[in-house]
Chain A
Amino acid sequence: MKVVGALGFLPADSFNVIVLMAVFTLISLGLHFTFGLLNLVNLAHGEFLLIGAYTAFQMQDTTGSVVLGILVAPLVAAVVAVVVERGILRFFYERTLDSLLATFGLSVIIRQIVQLIYSANPRTVRDPIGGAVTVAGFVLPRWRLLLVIITVALVTLVWVILGTTAFGLRARASVRNPALAETMGINVGLVRAGLFTLGSALAGLSGALLAPINTLNPQFGLFFLVNSFLVVILGRQGSLRGLVVAAVVLGGSLSVLQFVMRTVYAQVIVLVIAIVGVRLRRVLAERVVAYRERRSPARSPQVAQGGAVDSG
């Protein structure tokens, strides 16, 4: 931090580090459902952020209210999600590579539709509350502060839904053993549709929330796609706790690195951090399992693989 400080990192900049951590969490929350839980390699995730962002823009244009746009954005994304899940994606669960192709096609279609309607010209959504607050002598933009607070609230909401509700319990069961869940009376198809819709609505909301601090164009979603996948993969697919830790690590790394190098190089280093992090996590997990087996061979649970999920 001393080196970073010498290169111009001010204490007030630590707030921007926190904001980017929140942004990384926000862009990944929806993907936690569609890729983390449902195991769809959802390359259309960025386009649901795009739908949310342009909904905010459209409502600003039509009604003059960005806040209304932010409220409507998850609903629009949810409607699109229901249509594409029932019409296309429900045939691609448990078909990982096929789901990649299907969602890639879907992402291209959504992007082109947005471009047809709004052109490729850059658009802006104004800051819905504006202004700044002073905390401990530092001036913090109110919208960015609110983004951090909303992110914490959304993570808590997702944790409550998945960890404590009957739907969450059925969702965890359906994800972990779909055949058993179905024969125990859970309508797995309906649960999957619910998870996809919820994840897409969250992506739409995140896109709308991020619109005021970004310039919109039809490529808006692509910018966030890679980082959201890095967060979900590093955090262990299906783990909300892991997602938050990964978002803090990767978002924090990118924002700090941006002070000492160009963004493109910082992004490459973030990619390397994610790859090394995944490897380290696996080695650590193997050691923990080996340790548990040494301590209690008979009662040790099986090693959690790929799609394992935690409630938190």
Chain B
Amino acid sequence: MIPVLSVSGLHAGYGSSTVLRDVSFEVSQGEVACLMGRNGAGKTTLLKALMGVLPKSGKVELDGKDITDWKGHRINVAGMVWVPQEHSVFPGLTVREHLFIALGGRGVDAGLTAAAELFPILEERVDQEAQSLSGGERKMLGIAQALVVHPKLVLMDEPTEGVAPIVVEQLLPAIRVLTRSAAVLLVEQNLDTAVALGSRAYVLEHGTIVESGGIRQLHEDGILERRLAL
């Protein structure tokens, strides 16, 4: 089976500073692969490089297509979407306008309905500026934007970080819905959440993958705890 995402020999970084060295891994159809590692290991850098935000070398394939040199908008249109950690929004644009952009202007009403089914609060806030949403609501918007476009692969950066437990309870079912239709590369610091959602784990240390395998096995063997210094 062709993996949805195949990365080999990836190098990336900021300017002259190389953060990722010779990173190779795969994400298969229907899989939730967890990218784990301590702070500064290069997890977010890896997602940014895959999404075309940072320059990179090596080879990245999405559904068998070489997308290494593609720009971000082309990667997005090809089916890879990014839910960034900082729950970024466009100042001055409403929730509806965010969904319009995510959908490329097509099927906005259906998208709004789908988003509202997952997160009813977004329906109430649909004409409100996204910048005025709470942190948790912005995370919901980020996940909704990914879900409504029916992507092949979602890069999700710490979706539960910095939000109240009651919001996490709403986010997790939505993430599960997402994983039913798309492969997910999930950066998650919380081990319990990662084990609950993930099937495979990759552990990054100093920009290199040092462990990979079934997430439950790695957890039971205590490898994740040791690598993450938990």
A interface residue numbers (CB < 8 A to B) = 166, 169-170, 172-173, 176-177, 179-189, 298-302, 304, 308-311
Which residues of chain B (76-135) have a CB below 8 Å from chain A? Answer: 76-77, 81-82, 84, 88-93, 97, 100-102, 104-105, 129, 131-132, 134
Which residues of A sit under 8 angstroms from B73, Cβ to Cβ? 182-188
Cross-chain contact A176 with B90 (CB below 8 angstroms) = yes
Chain B residues proximal to chain A, CB less than 8 Å:
51-53, 71-77, 81-82, 84, 88-93, 97, 100-102, 104-105, 129, 131-132, 134, 145
A308 to B, closest residue via Cβ:
B91
Known contacts A172-B90, A180-B90, A184-B73; 5 additional CB pairs below 8 A are A176-B92, A186-B101, A302-B131, A308-B91, A310-B92
A148 to chain B, nearest CB (A): 30
CB-CB under 8 A from B100, the residues of chain A are 166, 169
Distance (Å) between the CB of B137 and the closest chain A CB? Answer: 11
Question: Which residue of A has the minimal Cβ distance to B97?
Answer: A169
- The reply to whether B134 and A301 contact each other, CB–CB distance below 8 Å, is no
Cross-chain contact B82 with A183 (CB below 8 angstroms): yes
A187 contacts which chain B residues (CB < 8 A)?
A: 71, 73-74
Tell me the nearest residue of chain B to A186, going by C-beta: B73
Q: A-B pairs with the 3 shortest C-beta distances? A: A182-B72, A185-B76, A183-B72
How distant is A61 from chain B, measured CB to nearest CB, in Å?
45
User: With A and B bound together, what is the CA distance between A299 and B138 in angstroms?
Assistant: 13
Q: How far is the CA of A310 from the CA of B76 in the complex (A)?
A: 27
Residue of B nearest to A189 (CB): B71
Report the minimum CB–CB distance from B138 to chain A (whole Å): 12
Q: A185-B77, A299-B132, A311-B92 known; A173 and B101 CB under 8 Å? A: yes
Complex CA gap A268/B110 in Å reads 57
Say which residue of B88, B90, B102, B132 sits within 8 Å of A185 (CB atoms): B102
Query: Within 8 Å CB of B84, what residues of A?
Result: 180, 183
Q: Would A172 and B93 be within 8 Å (CB), given that A166-B105, A183-B72 are in contact?
A: yes
Contact B101 A170 (CB under 8 A): yes
In angstroms, Cα B103 to Cα A184, docked, is 9
| A182 in complex: contacting residue of B71, B89, B105, CB < 8 Å | B71
Q: Are the CB atoms of B90 and A173 closer together than 8 Å?
A: yes
- In the complex the two chains form, what is the Cα distance from A309 to B75 in whole Å? 27
Cα-based distance from A144 to B118 in the complex (angstroms): 57
Chain A residues whose CB sits within 8 angstroms of the CB of B76 once the complex forms = 182-185
Contact partner of B88 (CB less than 8 A), chosen from A166, A180, A304, is A180
Name the contact of A184 in the complex, choosing from B91, B102, B129, B134 (C-beta under 8 A).
B102
Q: Which of A166, A172, A179, A189 contacts B92 (CB 8 A)?
A: A172
Q: How far is the CA of A166 from the CA of B132 in the complex (A)?
A: 22
Docked complex Cα distance between A299 and B93 (Å) = 15
Q: Are A169 and B77 in contact (CB under 8 A)?
A: no
Chain B residues contacting A179 (CB-CB under 8 Å) are 53, 72
Distance to closest chain B CB from A239 (angstroms): 11
Shortest beta-carbon distance, B203 to chain A, in Å?
25
Whether the pair B91, A169 counts as a contact (CB closer than 8 A) is no
CA distance A187 to B72 in the complex (A): 8
A-B contact pairs, 18 of them (CB 8 A): A166-B100, A170-B101, A173-B90, A173-B101, A177-B89, A180-B89, A182-B52, A182-B72, A182-B73, A183-B72, A184-B81, A185-B101, A186-B101, A187-B71, A188-B73, A301-B129, A301-B131, A309-B92
Min CB gap B220→A, angstroms: 36
Among the listed B52, B81, B90, B92, which residue makes an inter-chain contact with A181, where contact means beta carbons less than 8 Å apart?
Answer: B90
- Most chain-B Cβ atoms within 10 A of its Cβ — which of A166, A179, A185, A298? A185
A176 touches B145 (CB 8 A): no
Residues of chain B with a CB closer than 8 A to A302's CB? 91, 131
Shortest CB distance A311–B (Å): 7
Residues of B close to A189: CB separation below 8 A? 71
Known contacts A185-B76, A185-B101; decide if A173 and B131 are in contact (CB<8 Å).
Answer: no
Q: Closest CB-CB distance, B229 to chain A, in whole Å?
A: 31
| A12 to B93 CA separation, bound complex (whole angstroms) | 44
- Please indicate the chain A residues that have their CB under 8 angstroms from the CB of B145 in the complex: 184
